[in-house]
Structure 1
Amino acid sequence: MSLRRSSDPDWSAKILAECIGEELPPCQAACPLDIRVREKLRFMKTGRMDEALAVVLERCPFPGILGRICAHPCETACTRGSLGGPIAIAGLKRYLADLFPDAVFQVAPGPARPQGVAVVGGGPAGLMAAYELRRLGYWVALFEAENALGGALRRYIPPYRLPREVLDRELAILDKLGVEVFLGTRLGREVHLEELRRDFAAVFLALGAHKSLNLGVAGEHLPEVRAGLDFLSLANSGAPLEVGPRVAVIGGGNAAVDVARTALRTGGRQVTLVCLETLDEMPAFPQKISEAQREGVQILHRWGVKAIVGATRVTGLELKAVTRVFDGQGRFAPAYDDDTVKTLEVDAVLVAIGQRSELGPWAGALASGSRSLRVDPVTLETGLSEVFAGGDMVTGPRTAVEAFAAGRRAALAIDAYLQGQPLPEVLPPLASRGTGLIPDINGAVPEPRTDMDHLPVKARMDKPEAEVEMGFTAEQALAEAERCLSCVCSKCVTNCTFLQNYVRHYPFTEKEMMRLLRERGAEEPLIPYSCHFCGLCQAVCPKDLHAGEACLDFRQRLVDSGKGPLPPHKGIQNYVKWGTSPYFTLTRPDPATGKARWVFFPGCSLPGYSPHLVKAAYAYLREKLTDVGIILNCCGAPSHLTGEAAVFEGVLSRVASDLERLGGPELIAACTHCLHTLKDFRPGLRVRSIYEVMAEKGLPEAGRALEPGVFNIHDACGARGMPQIHDAVRRLVTDMGHGLEEMPHSREATICCGAGGMVEAVNAPLAQKMQDFRLSEANRDLITYCATCRARFRAAGRPAAHLLELLFNPRWRQALDAPPSGSLKRWWNRWRLKSNFSKNFKGKTKRGITRISKDYATMRFKRNSWGEFIASKITRDLNSIQIP
């Protein structure tokens, strides 16, 4: 149960600011291209493969390329990682691209813009920038120094990883879009920067990083020592290439692994990869390493190069032991033991320890040192007007997907610049970023990742350019997609029929509910008045947010504006009006002593449904404690829940005043909703539950079960946040000798019975849904400790008993099936209970407390029948009263 205090925040604003339900899933947050991976996999799960590919193409026009060579940071971030391995996101992207190879061409240029943009560099960053700018309608000229587009994709990635037919097919989209391509055109030679600035409205520089780093050791000048990138470029060009039979490859990254595997395919019989790192420290992808080892590559871990041996040609490699690769801060800072050395006999050395950009004289003042360009980190603008730059020439060597992302970001920044508009509110990312999403993965079990078939090793060596990874079959792709956990945080919605009724859009969050409240709550008051105020949304929320509090805020605003409560709430208003009148209320100290160290507060529902239990419980308390008074009244919660703050405060103040007149005793509540209300709104009062007292003092004499049963316990919403009550109730049931079976939603996660929030009065179908949700989990007879919950379950035809029946009524089995009292009978019960207590207390009251037994109305109760009293005193008001 949720009750709002004046100090509470604006809950709708708080939820809109703090709800994490619309945060990106980890896979999308990690993707530099911001691909909506979760949505892609949702489509794949249902066989809608074309729609899944359409999601990819929103951000990535080269799915077949990236599906094969992407560094897939999305998989590193995947929540499935610890539950059988991450989803094969890249492999599934490739599957879609291969399934619909022509889908990438279903795009057209945007409406023509008058400006032209020059893109220099035909690698990933330049390709993406040209594509996006052309889609925006700009005329685009793409200048590439080599004789084919692709940059590092074509020069350094072997065809056994990226078949050239796939590369050529997907890059053809640029020709279809009308990008004008100038091959064999190098900046500073065939074309100059000033010339481009003169002829184009903007220039994007994306020249990559193609200069290999040197080892800086003796013997590096020998002819058999080559840069790994140069070796790959030559091998991928199809030119004749020979390496010696014994080849050493220096490096531990993906490029080094590619060099080693390519060396095997070009004549190397014994290929050894020498790296500083242990296997776990190697930056290369584990799967690529294992495939290299399957093919025959040997790996020497924790060795560095001391010198390359040979006079006129390479004969060996002198190695020194590595003692450390990273320092205490995790920075790359290798250290060596120069006294621990060994020599490896080799015929050739291929160095793949990294690369950098190589800037020409054209860079001038744009350069940040000699290795990269200086740009604005947000807009990618350089120090020259109209000139932008991105990709590896700015950041240093990064992954292909990050270079593609830089090109996309540059295109949108250039568009904003040329249109004279501010930058888009959210520019696409350049790299992986974090997310605030806390996925709900309760109940998820490990499922092994689907392995992609690979070409046998012999077939790879027989046909060196054959693609090693063979792709997923349709069955494999579907099985792998179905492993996706669809990371969302929507526990609030999945556990609430109210939110489910109004939240319609994936990923189903409280934020959507708050937007709806703000847009339509004032004009459609049924929306805020349909919340049950059970508090389950807050109980399951990792951010402790409460949609019900926002609905309550709106109810109070509706009351303040004269639009609330709603007409169907009239019965509830009458219920509070009459239920707190002298006809049904009473405040008395202990009848034997005239004192009150404790006071029993049964609430308003239990006296109406089961007055005999009120009497029995009060007798028990007087037996176990001394000086126990009683207050028959309502805590005012119904008025609070309809938004009538003034009425609620009046009722609550009278209860507090009565307690004060009794000397400030500790209140013992039978109703957890009353307990919650008093704790929240009168925190200075001493209050506790009768079930805590009974668990401490022991069972009543008739409490031990002669015929033990097995029950489901339905926890009252009012006990949420009170684990001591949950424990006490269960202890009482088991002490009686009964067995328990917990329902999935219990204790803190209990579900409303359907009566909460006064919803029944205005939205009975929704209340019925909530009730059905609760009862769907019950497979035993029910025990409740809320009189209203018990009555609702019995009205639904389910056997249910109040806990006090089991404790005080030897015929509790009959109570399981007893129908709930009707409305008029409940009023009769309350009046008779008050009347009986008034007789018992006659002459025992404290000074200043009204003796209702002498009240005029009470005397009429005695003289006339109940029906006559209704006709003469309460008339039609009473007939419209709805008891919560």
Structure 2
Amino acid sequence: MRQMHNKLQLRRSSEAVGRKMIKLKINGQEIEAASGQTILQVVRKNRLDDIPTLCHSEELAPYGSCFLCVVEVKGRKNLVPSCATMIAPDMEVTTRNERIESSRKTALELILSNHYADCSPPCMDGCPAHVDAQGYIALAAMGELQKAIDLIREKNPLPAVCARVCVRNCEDVCRRMDIDTPVAINNIKRYLSDAENAYATEPECLPPAGKSVGIVGSGPAGLTAAWFLGKQGIKPVIYEARDRTGGMLRYGIPEYRLPDEVLDTEVAYIEKTGAEIHCGVRVGKDITLNELVNRHDAVFLAAGAWTGKSMRVEGEHDTEGVVTGADFLPEKTDNPEPLNGTVVVVGGGNTAMDAARTAWRLNADKVIILYRRTRAQMPADKMEIEDCIEEGIEIMELAAPVGIVRNSGRLKALRCIRMKLGEPDASGRRRPVPLEGSEFELPCDLVISAIGQNTVLDGLTEIETGEVELTRWNTYVIDTNTMQTNVEGVFAGGDAADDGPTVAIDAIADGQKAAKSITAWLNGEKMEQEPFAVHRDFWFRPGKKELKEVKESPRHELHMIDVDERRNSFREVATGFEPEDSTHETSRCLSCGCVRFDDCDLRLYGEEYGVDMEEFKGHVRQHKVDDRHPYIIYDPNKCILCARCIRTCARVLPVSALGLTGRGFKTEMRPAMNDPLVQTSCVSCGNCVDSCPTGALTMKYPFAGRACITTEDISTRCGFCSLGCQITVRDFGSGHYFIKSSGKPGDYLCRYGRFGNELFLNQSRIKNPVACEEGSYRTLSFQEAEEAIVKEMRKSTGIHGARKVAVFVSPELTNEELLAAEEIARKGIGTNNIGSLAMLAGNGEAGVLDSVLGFTASTCDRSCIENADLIICNNTALQDNHLILEADVLQQVKNGAKLIIANSTLSNSDRHLADLAVDPVRGGASFFWNAVMEELIQSETVKPEELPGGTEFLEGRNGDIYISAANAGVDAQSISEAAMLLADAKNIVIIHSQDRFQDNAPEDMKILADLTLLLRNAQRKTDLLFPRLIANSAGLEVTGADPAFLPGRIPASGELPGAKTSGELRELLNNGEITAAFIIGENPLEYPKTQSWFRNCTFIAAMDWTDTETTAAADITLPGSTFLETSGTRCSFEGQVICFNGTVQPPSGKSGREVLEELAEAFGLMVPDLNELMPGRLGEMLPFYWNTGEKRNWNGKGTLIPITITGSSSSVQPPLTHSQKYRIKSKNAMAERI
């Protein structure tokens, strides 16, 4: 199928042939180009520069609202928009200089000054390592656990560690907090890291680069750096002073929070990147730093902070029973000896909590935490504080140590003083102030000082080329953007660098940044900076008022072991998260971040041009997000008023559903009359979404989870009708995907093409072959099911004869599936009974135009519409059924073509658009066109006698126009007007739908074919287009899935038993003569009329991708597949064999094509491997009729035949295929919403 983009290019190329060629200079380069083009077109065509645009799209007329595409033209004072400025002889254009870039930057800053949006979610921005929490929450919601954990590892290689010890900065900024409580982000991470296959895959690493980096320390910073360096193909070698890896993760965090086996698993996974770890090697003692620098291409210092800070009280260093947390925790890790008496822990951070809870587990009689501020101001994790209290640990607030009471050098008590809160200090917390005269003694047996840690960098600063510079706090001085020290090739991070000891996630962030910087430095490249992003908090934090429609939902916490089980045990307290907990928490996520982060043109240009958000900061408009449409979300806050959506809508629909309202700063893009979009002329095609350069218009996903996540994008075709439009399937995996257009300008989609995947996602799937035995179902293997079908079909054939056995196929199937079914019917079973129940129910016959044209198909492809000066739409509802074809028609009407619409039901837009709109009675269109032909004959516009069959044609005619008009239910004036329009036209296209059975009469197509022959003979180029509602209706005859034809559309010999025509097969069904049937992809047992056809069946085998009434009643059911899951070909209505790619894995593991080919083999048949040979094979079998790559060019020859008009129409056809039923259901659902 030719797409609009290609058409525009062809049209422009042909128009350019007759244009004058002119010379101009662009960026100093002399260019020759055809006149009539804009500067932007010429620049892009010649690939001279990448001029930025936001409001421009190739298939739309220039708009010029964004002013990003401005360029400099010599002789003009002001910059000009290149999208709207036509080239001229001797023009000199500059597309990029300081003035132009400054102007573009200003334009972007002005647009962004009113862009109240979150490019990235607050949770990701709050995380020091920038882990995409919204992304992995969305993947968890989809059930994509492996992809979710892999997404975490893109920023953090220690997910299981952080799931247990992270301080959850992400949750601190969660917007959900303004409603109830933050999403349990870390608990979801715990669920993912505990999943069975969390470590099953191998890390993907680049090939070895031949370079190595020495890393001092195996704590979180060192391990993280090793992970990211290893993935880049750079050999990381870790030197660890202690006997085991992990640093403070192992020696500073107790096992009840972080079990050793969890840490060991994480380290082992990091080692898979090629990391080499040497434990028991102290740099500065066992090996010098200088040796390390000489041995490796770069060095990363992540030595940690291993000494506790002093309480600054006399006697703390020489009193037995006074230790630091930095000493106590590592000692108890290696030697968990029990404790006695009272233990006092000084401090309010996580180390203090860990020390207190460890002492309690070691059987201390009493544990007291002494803190100089209040509990509310403790920097420790709130959950850790709650756990302490739950375990019976006392928190003594507003008290600080001032001395130690000893007895013979042994601790007796801790002398303390009461405090009160004064003015806030630098941290924002109120400063504790001593209360005079409030001193008291606190009797105790052990004091643990946990008020912070210091670094010991002995031997870790001296290098031949110089000494690594230290801060006054004895940490490494670094450039925090690159993690580089003052020594070339030496980098530092974690607790030993810059501002000193922090938490694990900060160290992980340092390791990640250091690895990026080292990689860039080793490759001689500039380090990639963090992406540009806009945040709502730049103006103000969205509060409860903005989120008032979000319902409260209680948070689920991790499951814990009982307090009684924790005493004297280091068993992990938090046992994990259950699947239902994860599902609940993922549903609480508000999906704050934009799903267009990766491809938002506005954000990417903002990044490219280095915009300054402060430049025009001021008032910003806040809008409510409109999610009332069933498929589309509109966020006016992100709209930049480029009007691309409005202009695209106007191309697709007769009357655009969108427009601009208000003036000036209050201008908004809104649906007509500011109604909900679904209540306007919107047809839910979603082309406005594709046109949007930002995230203002986005699609709703038909499944849980919403984020900007990398997808696997695969191109294929839509299988909902015979147009076969190009689509892109964006697959998250495991049945979670959505559909976009191809991305080419002008490649539009209709509602079914874009959102029809909801049909596949919302239906239950058949995953295994099933046998129904006495009302109960039993799962079978494929081999068992196939053998059972062969046995029963042959048994029925032996008893009743092959005449009473049939195979029925859906017109939705691929040619390959149809050919396999044909082989099974004719060669496997030996019957000629093969056809489509959907076609039979509509009383359709094969080859109806063979006697007139010599073939039954469209006479050209869609490109003929481009040159038409008269278009006839007969018995069609293009907007409902073939929106993309309607867009072509509308465009040509706008270009000046006349339009005749003849339908039994006319819409307001039909009457508005058409030059002549007539509504003959149902089945009466044949009378109308017969009368129009008579008018043309009588006026001698056409001369039947000059054509083959003309004499017989004239003899059989009734020349009374008024009788025909009465039979058609139209006035004679309309007949005359139609004849005049035809007489005045030179290029005519007639579009007729064969599938509107309630409107069609048996003679419709023949009359239109006769009319076409007459007009062709009268030097009026006339073509017929027959778009079909079902994707491969045309393929039935071509592949021999019809009693009248063999593959290649060769007439069947009639030697096989069974029906010879579709009519005979219908008669067999009506008489109940079919005793065994294999039904593929159709559901006749849902409707009484078609159900009666199988009243005497003793065996039914069915194959389908979803449960239906037919599969429920079938004796054997095989799993089928959707068009998105099946590779193969189909025949479009234009006469092209188009290829479909299987883009999604079928749940059964086999496509319908594979299953049918296996079944054919079970019948003892050898099905040829068609694959990519199919288009060529069909082209060889039917030259011109179904070809690929060649432009079809019918010679206009044929034979006129006399026609007896009955004027009868068919009854409403039951929707036997999935696409038919979905269309009806979708249309009814939309009508209910309106």
The bucket for the TM-score relative to the shorter chain is 0.5 to 0.7
CA contact (8 A) 2:399 2:416 kept: yes
Task: Tell me if 1:318 matches 2:415.
Answer: yes
SS where residue 187 of structure 1 aligns? coil
Q: Of 310, 329, 332, which aligns to 1:232?
A: 329
Residue equivalent to 1:162: 258
1:125 to partner: Cα distance: 0.5
Are 2:405 and 1:309 aligned? yes
Partner of 1:60: 156
Instruction: Supply the distance in 2 between the matched residues of 1:822 and 1:131 (Cα, whole angstroms).
Output: 64
Find the aligned partners of 1:198 and 1:58 in 2 and give their Cα distance: 31
User: 1:201 & 1:543 partners in 2: Cα distance?
Assistant: 49
Q: Secondary structure of the equivalent of 1:149?
A: coil
User: Secondary structure of the equivalent of 1:177?
Assistant: coil
**Structure 1 counterpart of 2:151, one-letter code:** V
Q: Which one of the candidate residues 463, 467, 475 is aligned to 2:580?
A: 475
What residue is the counterpart of 2:523 in the other structure?
419
* Per-residue deviation, 1:444: 1.7
1:402 aligns with 2:506: yes
Q: CA deviation at 1:47?
A: 2.2
**Distance change in 2, residues 1:208/1:142 (3 Å):** same
Helix, strand or coil at the partner of 2:519: helix
3-state SS of 1:288 partner: helix
Q: Output aligned runs, 1:373-522, within 5 Å.
A: 373-394=476-497, 395-426=499-530, 441=547, 443-462=549-568, 464-488=569-593
For 1:10, the equivalent position in structure 2 comes to 67
- 1:176-575, aligned counterparts within 5 Å? 176-221=272-317, 222-237=319-334, 239=335, 241-311=337-407, 312-324=409-421, 327=424, 330-331=427-428, 333-363=431-461, 364-394=467-497, 395-426=499-530, 441=547, 443-462=549-568, 464-488=569-593, 541=635, 543=637, 545-550=639-644
Asked if 2 retains the 8 angstrom alpha-carbon contact of 1:318 and 1:343, the reply is yes
2:152 matched to 1:49? no
Cα distance per residue 1:452-493 (max 9 Å; x no partner): 22111121114x210011111222222222222222457xxx
Residue 448 of structure 1 deviates from its aligned partner by 0.6
State the match for 1:120 in structure 2.
Answer: 216
Instruction: Quote the Cα distance in structure 2 between the aligned partners of 1:535 and 1:345.
Output: 64
SS in 2 for 1:86: coil
Is the CA contact 1:144–1:185 (under 8 Å) kept in the aligned structure 2? Answer: yes
Structure 1 residue 416: deviation in Å?
A: 0.8
1:583-611 deviations in whole A, cap 9, x for unaligned? Answer: xxxxxxxxxxxxxxxxxxxxxxxxxxxxx
Distance of 2:673 and 2:224 partners within structure 1: 58
1:376 CA displacement: 1.2
User: Is 1:78 aligned to 2:174, yes or no?
Assistant: yes
For each residue in 1:139-172, what CA deviation from the matched residue of structure 2 results, as whole angstroms up to 9, or x when unmatched? 2221011111110001110000011111112211
Which letter maps to 2:583? L
**TM-score relative to the length of structure 2:** 0.42
- In 2, distance between residues paired with 1:389 and 1:73? 23
Between Structure 1 and Structure 2, how many residues are aligned?
592
- Higher relative CO (Cα under 8 Å, sequence separation at least 6) belongs to 1
CA contact (8 A) 1:116 1:140 kept: yes
Letter of the 1:479 partner, please give it: H
* Aligned residue number for residue 561 of structure 1: none
* 34 and 825 in structure 1: CA distance in 2 versus 1, 3 angstrom threshold: closer
Query: 1: CA distance between counterparts of 2:633 and 2:142?
Result: 32
The runs of 5 or more residues in structure 1 that have no matched partner are 491-504, 516-533, 556-564, 573-637, 643-671, 684-714, 721-744, 771-794, 797-817, 828-866, 880-884
> Which moved further from structure 2: 473-482 or 157-166?
473-482
What whole-Å deviation, never above 9, does each CA across 1:845-877 have from its counterpart, x for those lacking one? xxxxxxxxxxxxxxxxxxxxxx99x99xx999x
| Alignment CA distance shift 1:95-1:30 (3 Å) | same
Question: C-alpha offsets along residues 100-143 of structure 1, whole Å, 9 cap, x if unaligned?
Answer: 35626611542111222110111110111112212211222210
Q: Say whether residues 1:130 and 2:226 are aligned partners.
A: yes
The 1:6–1:426 alpha-carbon spacing in structure 2 relative to 1, beyond 3 Å, is closer
Conserved in 2, the CA contact under 8 Å of 1:20 and 1:438? Answer: no
Shift of 1:422: 1.4
**CA distance in structure 2 between the aligned counterparts of 1:217 and 1:29, rounded to whole angstroms:** 41
- Where 2:527 maps in the other structure, the secondary structure is coil
2:172 maps to a residue whose letter is T
Query: Quick check: 2:202–2:272 contact (8 Å CA) kept in 1?
Result: no
Q: Is the 8 A contact 1:21 1:508 kept in 2?
A: no
* Matched-pair contact (CA < 8 Å) for 1:294–1:457: yes
CA gap 1:323/1:208 in 2 versus in 1, 3 angstroms: same
Structure 1 SS opposite 2:208 = coil
Q: Distance in 1 between matches of 2:491 and 2:664?
A: 59
8 Å CA contact 2:66–2:642 kept in 1: the answer is no
Q: Cα 1:718–1:95, aligned 2, differ >3 Å: closer, same or farther?
A: closer
- After alignment, is 228-237 or 12-21 more displaced? 12-21
Asked whether the 8 Å contact 1:160–1:465 carries over to 2, the reply is yes
Is the contact between residue 158 and residue 258 of structure 1 (CA under 8 Å) also seen in structure 2? yes
Q: CA deviation at 1:539?
A: 12
The answer for the alignment partner of 1:613 in structure 2 is: none
Structure 2 counterpart of 1:356, one-letter code: N
The reply to whether residue 95 of structure 1 matches residue 206 of structure 2 is: no
> Match of 2:1134?
none
Whole-angstrom distance in 2 between the partners of 1:156 and 1:247: 18
Are the counterparts in 1 of residues 179 and 547 from structure 2 also a CA contact under 8 Å?
no
1-structure distance, mates of 2:154, 2:320:
48
Rounded Cα–Cα distance in structure 1 between residues aligned with 2:515 and 2:308: 29
Residues 548 and 9 of structure 1: CA distance in aligned 2, closer, same or farther (over 3 Å): closer
Question: Which range is displaced more, 170-179 or 136-145?
Answer: 170-179
Q: TM-score, normalised by structure 1?
A: 0.58
**1:51 partner letter:** K
Decide whether the 8 Å contact of 1:116 with 1:202 is kept in 2.
yes
Decide whether the 8 Å contact of 2:285 with 2:459 is kept in 1: no
Determine the structure 1 residue equivalent to 2:269: 173
Classify 1:423/1:435 alpha carbon distance in 2 versus 1 (closer, same or farther; 3 Å). farther
**Separation in structure 2 between the aligned mates of residue 536 and residue 165 of structure 1, nearest angstrom:** 49
Give the helix-richer structure, 1 or 2.
1
Question: 1:27 maps to which residue?
Answer: 123
Q: Answer yes or no: is the 8 Å Cα contact 2:118–2:592 preserved in 1.
A: no
Residue type at the aligned position of 2:496: M
The CA deviation at 1:288 is 0.9
Partner in structure 1 of residue 244 of structure 2: 148
Q: Unmatched 5+ residue regions in structure 2?
A: 1-54, 56-60, 70-103, 462-466, 607-625, 689-745, 755-878, 881-905, 916-972, 986-1234
Distance 1:325 1:163, change over 3 A: farther
1:24 CA drift (Å): 1.1
* Secondary structure in 1 matching 2:566: helix
Please say if residues 117 and 638 of structure 2, whose CA atoms lie closer than 8 Å, have aligned partners that are also in contact. Answer: no
Amino acid at match of 1:367: L
Give the letter for the 1:128 counterpart.
Answer: T
TM superposition shift of 1:361: 4.8
Distance 1:196 1:5, change over 3 A: closer
